[in-house]
């Protein structure tokens, strides 16, 4: 029998930024090589102040690189390295490197390689406690997480200068263990989960021309679907507004277009039992009508519309919820916002309710930003200040992850 074709060796780009923890990257490199990975090191110019490229060259699968223009035989090294990588690991990732990556800069070989790659990225931050706790550092990390970058948070321990606190680079063995999980398919805390998201405002026909609808643009629901995909989930998006999805998640989201509340209900209930998470971000019409078969004429006078309540899809979902399933509802309010939302939370039975005041400038329908309050069982309300709808999506999904049974995920 012909011998089986051996699996290709996973290729890891190991980025080393300029911090004192750079010396630990040597141990990370050694462990990666011992695990059988092909490792290509990239050091930033500042990293070479702490460790010598020759040390990495001696241990790696190919010579360590520092500059974009150092090798005349490889005129575009960032493209070659970025395209061939199965994973890019940056250990340590300094506050400066994190800021440049979040801003989309490509001003050295490491950041240019990050920009030139579609592979997963794992950042392993290391810095002094005061730097780690800076809001701007955490905001930059939140931006990168929302884009799908994996972050292995630092440990507490002894730091440079004799201090002690949070900011110590994660143990090399922990880094390599996570690398193995990523190579095997892990993409974030929703890896292996099926997430069902609804988005947009339903349109209930009055006649073949006119509809009853609302002002929902579907932006928040689409943002949740995209961020969930970046966190590793298999996503189904049931939407009334088919807007373009981000290029990096298009192939990982199953888009199901619908128009009416009845169509949305049918599509959602058909997929509910197989979903680990259901996020009902759509603005579903509360009432519908029996549509006229032909266009109503103005000359005939105002039509008499007999409104009929649509089924409460969220209540149906929570009533049939299976063990371990997390269901998220939305409440758009304009008066007595928290009181009305709390009442809805109790009636609907959702695990999490996302509440927004649609009269707040920048937080209403069709805006690119949002400001919400999250209601959870046995917790005080959590206010999420004004930010992009993608960043709101990350906040919502972070709470969802905490509500899911962890098991072997």
Checking 205-210 for CB contacts under 8 A at 24+ apart, the result is 205/260, 205/289, 205/291, 206/289, 206/291, 206/292, 206/296, 206/303, 206/305, 207/291, 207/292, 207/293, 207/294, 207/295, 207/296, 208/291, 208/292, 208/293, 208/294, 208/295, 209/295, 210/295, 210/296
| Separation of CA 320 from chain center | 27
Q: Which two tokens stand for residue 117?
A: 């790659």
CB 178 within 8 A of CB 163: no
Cα separation of 3 and 23, whole Å? 42
Residue 214 falls in the annotated catalytic set: yes
Cα separation of 176 and 289, whole Å? 59
Cα separation of 197 and 238, whole Å? 6
Alpha carbon dihedral 251, 200, 267, 226, in 10-degree steps, equals 30
Catalytic residue, chosen from 140, 214, 356, 370, is 214
Q: Name the one residue in this structure whose structure tokens are 């989930």.
A: 233
Cα separation of 22 and 50, whole Å? 7
CB 227 within 8 A of CB 393: yes
Peptide bond into 92 cis (omega under 30): yes
Cα separation of 157 and 205, whole Å? 63
Q: Which amino acids are annotated catalytic?
A: 214
């Amino acid at each position: 029998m012909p011998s089986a074709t051996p699996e290709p060796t996973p290729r890891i780009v190991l980025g080393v930024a300029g911090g004192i923890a750079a010396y630990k990257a040597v141990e990370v490199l050694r462990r990666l090589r011992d695990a059988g990975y092909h490792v290509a090191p990239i050091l930033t110019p500042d990293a070479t102040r702490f460790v010598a490229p020759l040390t990495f060259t001696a241990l790696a699968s190919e010579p360590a690189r520092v500059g974009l223009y150092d090798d005349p035989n490889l005129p575009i090294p960032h493209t070659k390295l970025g395209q061939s990588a199965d994973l890019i690991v940056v250990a340590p990732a300094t506050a400066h490197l994190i800021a440049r990556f979040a801003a989309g800069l490509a001003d050295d070989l490491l950041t240019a390689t990050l920009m030139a790659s579609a592979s997963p990225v794992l950042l392993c931050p290391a810095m002094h406690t005061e730097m780690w706790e800076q809001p701007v550092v955490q905001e930059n990390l939140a931006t990168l997480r929302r884009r799908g970058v994996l972050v292995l948070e630092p440990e507490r321990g002894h730091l440079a200068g004799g201090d002690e606190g949070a900011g110590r680079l994660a143990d090399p063995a922990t880094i390599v263990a996570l690398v193995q999980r990523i190579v095997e398919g892990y993409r974030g805390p929703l890896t292996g989960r099926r997430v069902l998201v609804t988005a947009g405002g339903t349109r209930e026909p009055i006649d073949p021309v006119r509809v009853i609808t609302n002002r929902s643009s579907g932006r928040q629901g689409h943002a949740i679907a995209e961020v969930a995909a970046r966190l590793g989930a298999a996503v189904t998006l049931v939407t009334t507004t088919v807007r373009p999805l981000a290029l990096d998640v298009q192939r990982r989201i199953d888009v199901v277009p619908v128009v009416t509340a009845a169509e949305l209900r049918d599509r959602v209930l058909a997929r509910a039992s197989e979903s680990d998470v259901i996020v009902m971000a759509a603005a579903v019409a509360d009432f519908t009508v029996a549509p006229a078969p032909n266009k109503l004429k103005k000359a005939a006078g105002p039509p008499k519309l007999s409104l009929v309540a649509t089924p409460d899809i969220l209540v149906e979902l929570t009533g049939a919820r299976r063990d371990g399933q997390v269901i998220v509802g939305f409440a758009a309010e304009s008066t007595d916002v928290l009181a009305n939302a709390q009442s809805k939370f109790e009636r609907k039975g959702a695990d999490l309710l996302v509440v927004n005041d649609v009269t707040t400038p920048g937080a209403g329908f069709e805006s690119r930003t949002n400001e919400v309050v999250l209601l959870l069982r046995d917790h005080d309300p959590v206010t999420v200040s004004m930010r992009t709808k993608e960043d709101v999506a990350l906040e919502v999904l972070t709470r969802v992850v905490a509500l899911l049974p962890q098991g072997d995920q």
